[in-house]
Structure 1
């Protein structure tokens, strides 16, 4: 009985010592809908093309940097659509301001790198599902990484960036919202 109690107390202590990582935004609610401000400007869309403000908490011990992605798994490509990838966000940073994802952004923290999206630019590219299609899901994720830097150029493929993010991931948090035109 003592062994079982000690084991249960050990599991409880382990779960209490690691708070769950969370992601929030004043611009995008989990389970909500994106606004016209997060719609792309181009490809037949005429939105504001603004990246949402994001804030995260509860990164695990050992976090050395963060990565942020925005992805549409419902895009009719067979492989989804990458709307944003930012790597090398320093561990001391826990938020990005609204519209930090513009091309050649000065609002990103020093050392952070935006990687080319499926739109072909190293910047945030908003939602632009085909007109009349079902609502698409947009997944904004922040990843706590165990490395200080992912050493890749900004024109790296999204698959390669994803490989390095997942190979070094300690934890992640997600906001998923929908958009339809």
Structure 2
């Protein structure tokens, strides 16, 4: 069985509700996954907007998600300490910041990418940023799954 990722808040290629956008409540949308491959020791999650005017914009990066987790709750930034670690996003915040495309721009695609890793944790500091975390994580990927939502201001 392949690694799969879904959200009860939105479906593939459909709009992300406003409460998960920066102009709304800026809540992290709930996510669920299944089919982690044998040998999974942790997960990472990256949320990116490839349609941003200046290139891919990273809205969220979380590493060291325990291998026995199969979901992230709405507003996952309240996760217990000493577990998942948030990395600095392109807004400069170590948390989730939701969609915020330029007003009047076409709908942007927000890719939620979950990767199963063969290591229990990454030792990259949180202020290193999502790109650095993802570069390190890619060395340990066993499987990936994505779900993409859209948003337009």
TM-score (norm 1): 0.81
Identify which of 70, 74, 87 aligns with 2:63: 87
Asked if structure 1 preserves the Cα contact closer than 8 Å seen for 2:45 and 2:61, the reply is yes
Note the alpha carbon deviations across 1:118-140, whole angstroms, 9 max, x for none: 11111000000000001100001
Aligned-pair distance for 1:38? 1.2
CA deviation profile, 1:62-116 (whole Å, cap 9, x unmatched) = 10000011100001113x1101100001111111110113xxx3x2574210001
Is residue 68 of structure 2 the alignment partner of residue 96 of structure 1? no
- SS of the residue 1:155 aligns to: helix
Alpha-carbon distance in structure 2 between the residues aligned to 1:172 and 1:82: 17
The answer on whether the counterparts of 2:60 and 2:130 sit within 8 Å (CA) in structure 1 is no
Q: Tell me, in whole angstroms, the C-alpha distance in 1 between the residues paired with 2:131 and 2:43.
A: 17
Aligned to 2:4: 22
Do the aligned residues in 2 keep the contact of 1:24 with 1:55 (CA within 8 Å)? yes
Residue of structure 1 equivalent to 2:84: 112
Aligned residues: 153
> 1 or 2 for the larger relative contact order (CA 8 Å, sep ≥6)?
2
Q: Distance in 1 between matches of 2:98 and 2:11?
A: 16
Q: CA RMSD in A?
A: 1.2
Once the two structures are superposed, residues 4-61 of structure 1 have per-residue CA deviations (whole angstroms, 9 ceiling, x without a partner) of xxxxxxxxxxxxxxx1111111112112111111111xxxxx2110111111000101
The aligned counterpart of 1:7 is none
**Dislocated runs of 4+, deviation >6 Å:** none
Kept in 2, the 8 Å contact 1:96–1:108? The answer is no
Shift of 1:158: 2.4
Q: 1:144 to 1:109 in 2, by over 3 A?
A: farther
Residue 54 of structure 1 is matched in structure 2 by 31
1:136 equivalenced with 2:105 (yes/no): no
Take 1:133 and 1:151, find their aligned partners in 2: how far apart are those partners? 38
2:81 and 2:65 mapped to 1: Cα distance?
6
Give 5+ residue unaligned stretches, structure 1.
Answer: 1-18, 41-45
Q: Which of 1, 15, 18 pairs up with 1:33? A: 15
